[in-house]
Amino acid sequence: MDQLLTSLRAAAEPTRLRILALCGRTDLTVSELMRILGQSQPRVSRHLKLLAEAGLLERFQEGSWVFHRAARDGLGGRVLLHLSDLMPADDPTVLRDKDHLAQIKRERAEAAAGYFRANAAEWDRVRSLHADDTEVERTILSLLPDDGIDDFLDVGTGTGRILELLSPRIGQGIGIDSSRDMLAMARTNLDKPATGHCQVRQNDMYQMALPNKAFDAAVIHQVLHFADDPARAIAETARVLRPGGLLLVVDFAPHSHEELRSKHAHRRLGFADAEIGGWFAAAGLETRRIKHLAGDPLTVTIWLAIKPEFSDEADSGNWVWMSDIQNAVH
């Protein structure tokens, strides 16, 4: 009862109601809210602090920026669900706030498009060397269940494409990335009703600010060849998987194209099946499927692993990897 009263008191103020309506539509920084509300930083920050303490807002830091989003879980999420139904859509202040928010979204989209234009030529050149993205995505969909993925994690989300691809199959999706430029692009790409249940956050794939056993499935898509320590990234992803959870790794098979190191910052020139399988085993995962998709000249490999129902992180170093290559799909 006390928590409910705290939530209702926090929401029962005109500016804070406006903030909740805005943060229910997208992630917003203090400066963006200041522009929309026409209020000073101290006032806006005070309102945000009260709403966060009441469990109505979630806060996520990215470098010096802090994003705010309406709570989706717990009592706060349930309170907001009812408040959103009661919010008058034709209220002049609400309509004005929506117009200002639309302008901010347009500016975000323009910035993301500019970043993409500056890098698209290089990305497209690398894409042309390997299997078609459509075939890769079709294979990803074929290896993951059609339903039952309540909580999904996309490690190194980039433009948010994997979240977008899997959004019809998941209850809630979180994408993490270290690049603020990529996260800005992902937010723009995911800013639509069909992907409203997906979020992106700045996070370190080696030390995620995420709890143990929080996700039913995870994908690491074309990330490990940039990584200093791929084994550690796999182990950290395994930590946040629930028993029975699935991990899908998508990357290149071994190749000899050294120019990808000098021109595109690739640290590793692909991965052998046994290498990925050994890292899975060390992380307490069992390899289930392997799929090779030939390109010219690069082959994309997709490795699927499961965290056993009886998995115990304390004993993860004792696993012995048993190759599933004889059952792999080639």
CATH number at residue 294: 3.40.50.150
Range of the domain at 24: 2-101
pLDDT at 127: 58
In tens, the pLDDT along 1-46 reads: 888 888 888 888 999 999 999 998 888 889 999 999 999 999 999 9
Q: Are residues 138 and 219 in the same domain?
A: yes
Lowest mean pLDDT among 156-165, 249-258, 263-272: 263-272
pLDDT of residue 119: 64
List pLDDT tens digits, range 265-299.
777 888 999 999 999 999 999 999 999 998 878 89
User: Do the domain assignments include residue 120?
Assistant: no
Q: Does residue 110 lie within any of the structural domains?
A: no
Give yes or no for a cis peptide into 297 (omega within 30° of 0): yes
How many structural domains does the chain have? 2
Return the number of other C-beta atoms located less than 10 Å from residue 75's C-beta: 15
DSSP codes joined into one string, 38-98: T--HHHHHHHHHHHHHTTSEEEEEETTEEEEEE--SHHHHHHHHHHHHHS-TT-HHHHHHH
**DSSP H stretches of helix in 254-308:** 259-264, 273-282
> Does 122 map to a domain?
no
Instruction: Tell whether 154 and 240 lie within a shared domain.
Output: yes
Q: How far is CA 147 from CA 32, 195, 215, 242, in A?
A: 36, 16, 14, 16
Q: Please say which residue of 85, 101, 117 terminates a domain.
A: 101
| Model pTM above 0.85 | no
Q: Please report whether residue 19 resides in a domain.
A: yes
CA distances from 43 to 32, 189, 222 (A): 13, 31, 43
Give the separation between CA 59 and CA 151, rounded to whole angstroms: 19
Q: How far apart are the first and last CA of the chain?
A: 58
Do the Cβ atoms of 171 and 150 come closer than 8 Å? yes
**Which pLDDT value is given to residue 3?**
83
pLDDT confidence of residue 118: 67
